[in-house]
């Protein structure tokens, strides 16, 4: 169970639509002092999806979580060893956050990628799915129901953002990076993993079977990110390739790795200038 609680960090939060003033936690409500903005807190999870957010999309992710979660999907984590390797890649990179950091895991799911880190420093878990967030809470994250493209944090309050296997569900990278750049302080680190568009296994898989994630999963190569990041004070500093299901070194850190087509996933380490 979480060693850090929402109570301690409530001053980092704001309404997803914009800053309407400080929020206070008042029993089962998170609200501005005058009460004009308020969010219910259900089973310890603040419901901070913007009023505009498409409830059908949220319900889809909720339904998927109830069926057993994305980590069991045939595309994302077909092999249990692959999931373990993803956890390993994140544990290597997360170990670089110092213990005074405050981090948010966006699209945290069960929170497996950051649960080890959440024992040492506060990690918010943001997800569309309450079912997922209940698990993330058990794994030590501070749960918040919210959307990656309208984050419920004030400007420049986070030392790091982690987002594992989420952006392939999202059409607009600009929206996501604008939010990540807004909520992080200069010098912060963003760790973001996704499906490798150039992976031989994924390209073959896509040709043979198609993809069965919610909507068409967007496979992206590093160049796709570099182009978008140019518009923000964000630069790729390191890349970890997650080699799976090959039985050799599971995680290779190298921006220009010549065998990257053998990696199904990669994790970008992005520095906020
Ligand atoms: C493939 S799962 C990854 C979960 C976790 N990060 C992991 O690697 O185990 C994708 C997660 O992203 C969440 N998600 C999808 N779109 C989102 C959005 N717009 N904002 C926040 N979370 C989102 C889903 O609910 C789901 O839990």
Model pLDDT, residue 214: 43
Tokens of 3: 């060693």
Per-residue pLDDT band at 68 (split at 50, 70, 90) = low
Tokens of 13: 């939060």
Q: Is the CB of 61 within 6 Å of ligand 1?
A: yes
Most informative mutation of 52, 70, 113, 153 for ligand 1 (most atoms within 8 A of CB): 70
Q: pLDDT: is 30 or 212 the higher one? A: 30
In a domain, 13, yes or no: no
Q: What is the pTM of this model?
A: 0.94
Ligand 1 atom 11, closest CA: 107
Q: Which of 67-76, 83-92, 230-239 has the highest mean pLDDT?
A: 230-239
Asked whether the CA dihedral 207, 213, 215, 217 is positive or negative, the reply is negative
Mean predicted confidence (pLDDT) in 160-182: 95
| Nearest atom within ligand 1 for CA of residue 64 | 25
- 3-class DSSP string for the chain: CCCCCHHHHHHHECCCCCCCCCEEEECCEEEECCCCCEEEEECCEEECCCCCCCHHHHHHHHHHHHCCCHHHCCCCCCCHHHHHHHHHHHHHHHCCCCCCCCEEEECCCCCCCCCCHHHCCCEEEEECCHHHHHHHHHCCCEEEECECCECCECCCCEEEEEEECCHHHCCCHHHHHHHHHHHEEEEEEEEEEEEECCCHHHHHHHHHHCCCCCCCCCCECHHHHHHHHCCCCEEEEEEEEEECCCCCCCEEECCCCCCHHHEEEEEEEEEEC
In a domain, 28, yes or no: no
| Omega within 30 of 0 (cis) for the link into 231 | no
Q: What is the pLDDT of residues 107-136, one digit of tens each?
A: 999 899 999 999 999 999 999 999 999 999
Distance 241 CA to ligand 1 centre (A): 20
Query: Could you tell me the residue range of the domain that residue 255 belongs to?
Result: 44-272
Mean predicted confidence (pLDDT) in 95-107: 97
In a domain, 232, yes or no: yes
Q: Find out whether 236 and 224 touch, Cβ atoms under 8 Å.
A: no
Distance 166 CA to ligand 1 centre (A): 5
Q: What is the pLDDT of residues 12-21, one digit of tens each?
A: 999 999 999 9
Ligand 1 atom 14, closest CA: 107
CATH code where residue 151 lies: 3.40.50.150
Per-residue pLDDT band at 75 (split at 50, 70, 90) = very low
* 267 φ, ψ (degrees, to nearest 5): -115, 125
Q: Is the CB of 132 within 6 Å of ligand 1?
A: yes
Ligand 1 atom 12, closest CA: 107
Count of the separate structural domains present in the chain = 1
In a domain, 3, yes or no: no
Tokens of 229: 């990041």
Q: Is the CB of 69 within 6 Å of ligand 1?
A: no
Best CA proximity match to 47, nearest among 6, 96, 105, 91:
6
| Nearest atom within ligand 1 for CA of residue 132 | 27
In a domain, 6, yes or no: no
In a domain, 34, yes or no: no
In a domain, 15, yes or no: no
In a domain, 2, yes or no: no
What is the distance between the alpha carbons of residues 8 and 79, in angstroms, rounded to a whole number? Answer: 38
| Nearest atom within ligand 1 for CA of residue 112 | 9
Model pLDDT, residue 27: 85
Distance 104 CA to ligand 1 centre (A): 13
| Nearest atom within ligand 1 for CA of residue 108 | 6
Q: Find out whether 150 and 180 touch, Cβ atoms under 8 Å.
A: no
Q: Find out whether 218 and 196 touch, Cβ atoms under 8 Å.
A: no
Q: What is the pLDDT of residues 200-215, one digit of tens each?
A: 888 887 777 655 444 4
């Amino acid at each position: 169970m979480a060693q850090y609680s929402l109570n301690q960090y409530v001053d980092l939060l704001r309404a997803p639509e914009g800053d309407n003033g400080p929020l206070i936690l008042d029993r089962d409500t998170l609200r501005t002092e005058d009460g004009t903005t308020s969010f219910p807190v259900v089973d310890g999870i603040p419901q901070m999806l913007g009023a505009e957010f498409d409830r059908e999309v949220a319900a889809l992710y909720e339904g998927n979580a109830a069926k057993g979660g994305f980590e069991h999907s045939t595309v994302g984590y077909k092999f249990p060893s692959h999931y373990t390797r993803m956890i390993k890649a994140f544990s290597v990179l997360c170990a670089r956050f110092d213990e005074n950091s405050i981090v948010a895991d966006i699209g945290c799911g069960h929170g497996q990628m950051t649960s080890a880190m959440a024992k040492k420093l506060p990690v918010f878990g943001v997800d569309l799915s309450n079912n997922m967030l209940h698990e993330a809470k058990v794994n030590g994250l501070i749960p918040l129901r919210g959307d990656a493209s309208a984050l419920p944090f004030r400007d420049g309050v986070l030392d790091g953002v982690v987002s594992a296997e989420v952006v392939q569900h999202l059409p607009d990278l600009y929206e996501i990076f604008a939010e990540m750049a807004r909520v992080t302080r200069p010098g912060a680190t963003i760790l973001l993993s996704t499906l490798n568009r150039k992976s031989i296994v994924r390209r073959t898989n896509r040709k043979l079977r198609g993809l069965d994630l919610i909507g068409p999963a967007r496979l992206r190569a590093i160049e796709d990110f570099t182009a978008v990041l140019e518009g923000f004070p964000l630069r790729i500093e390191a890349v970890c390739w997650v080699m799976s299901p090959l039985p050799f070194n599971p995680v290779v850190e190298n921006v220009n790795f010549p065998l990257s087509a053998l990696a199904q996933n990669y994790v970008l380490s992005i520095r906020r200038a």
